[in-house]
Amino acid sequence: MPRYPALLLALVVAAVRAAAAPEAKFDPATTATNQLGLELFRALAAERPHENLLISPYSIQSALAMTYAGAEGETRTEMARALHYPGDDAILHRSFRTLRNAFDAAVAKSKADSDRRQQEAGKIAPLELRVANRLFGQLGCEFRAPFLALTKDFYNAPLEQLDFRANAEPSRLTINHWVEEQTRQRIRDLLPEGSIKDLTRLVLVNALYFKAPWSSPFQKTLTENRPFRVNGTKSEPVPTMQQQSKLGYRSFGDFSAITLPYASDDFQFLILLPNDPAGLEALSAKLTPALLRECAQLKAASLIL
């Protein structure tokens, strides 16, 4: 599929607006997540210049933060540098837990709002966010107690024991089934056939499921074909949703930033659109965690989107 000229990023700082804790308590988790996400985005876009690209930096960082908790020596040093972690591990893991708690609080608030509004004005679906972490370890193996305590307490990742030695393939199917349950059957066969061996001792799993209605839904009847610039050059007719609403907006000179709130009002979708139809690469090169944080706090304006 051709890569679109609009740059769409769902990154942590840009997504969270008014969750349970002050933004400062999310750092360094948010800054590290956004920095790694931007670096991965640029690297993958360079490898696949004519493809669409979707990544989940928060999911990636959550899994690697737990892996980092079990690393030592040079591996630990290199991971900290590559993942943009601070020198204080206690602050790092606390920030991930605070961010996770903020997500949980936003989901609970959305559920309460949905229940209240359902009684007043009919059914309104709540926001759903599941961050599923778990360790699957070889039955009978002794894993270090501090590591197990840290992953459970800070990342809600308990240890489940499986017998990889005697039942490698059934263990793989057990893990995949758990992931399917956590993601409402959206992620299937996470671990491919042959990925679990009789020598496997520990499998660290992270999966993320997010589903949310828009605060201002698009009306299907307003969708119509409009010209779209594929790769910033060729024009193609594409079914295009549209609406007039109050949305977060700001012009940054060579690109525009627009935010669409989800129904909970604690999460939003950030769109970054270069003014030059062929300007996606230049825009992605200038993005930083600080700029994304700035884009997360846009003033509302009446727009036709």
pLDDT score of 115: 80
Mean pLDDT per 10-residue interval, the chain, length 305 residues: 40 43 71 93 89 90 96 96 94 94 89 77 80 96 96 97 97 97 94 96 95 91 92 89 94 93 86 90 90 90 94
Cβ burial of 97 (10 Å; 0-12, 13-18, 19+) is middle
Res 174: pLDDT: 98
Contact assessment for residue 9 and residue 37, using Cβ atoms and an 8 Å cutoff: yes
Torsion over CA of 40, 45, 47 and 51, rounded to 10 degrees? 130
DSSP string for 194-241: T-S-TT--EEEEEEEEEE--BSSPPPGGG-EEEEEEETTTEEEEEEE-
pLDDT in tens, 107-165: 998 888 888 877 666 667 888 999 999 999 999 999 999 999 999 999 999 999 999 99
pLDDT at 23: 54
Question: How many other C-beta atoms can be found within 10 angstroms of the C-beta atom of residue 122?
Answer: 7
> H or E stretch including 129?
strand 128-138
Q: What is the pLDDT of residue 11?
A: 42
How far is Cα 147 from Cα 184, in angstroms, rounded to an integer? 29
In the DSSP assignment, the letter for residue 256 is: E
Predicted local confidence at residue 234, as pLDDT:
86
* Residue among 88, 100, 31 at smallest CA distance from 62: 100
- pLDDT value at residue 121: 62
Per 3-state DSSP, what percentage of the chain is helix, strand, and coil (rounded to 5)? 40, 25, 35
Q: What is the pLDDT of residue 18?
A: 40
Supply the pLDDT for residue 147.
97
Taking the C-alpha atoms of residue 180 and residue 208, their distance in angstroms, rounded to an integer, is 11
Which pLDDT score is estimated for 24? 59
pTM of the predicted structure, to 2 decimals: 0.87
Q: What is the pLDDT of residues 76-105, one digit of tens each?
A: 999 999 999 998 999 999 999 999 998 998
pLDDT at 293: 87
C-alpha span between 269 and 265 (Å, rounded) = 11
**Residue 53's pLDDT is what?**
87
Q: What is the per-residue pLDDT for 281?
A: 87
Residue 29's pLDDT is what? Answer: 93
CB count in 10 Å sphere of residue 87: 7
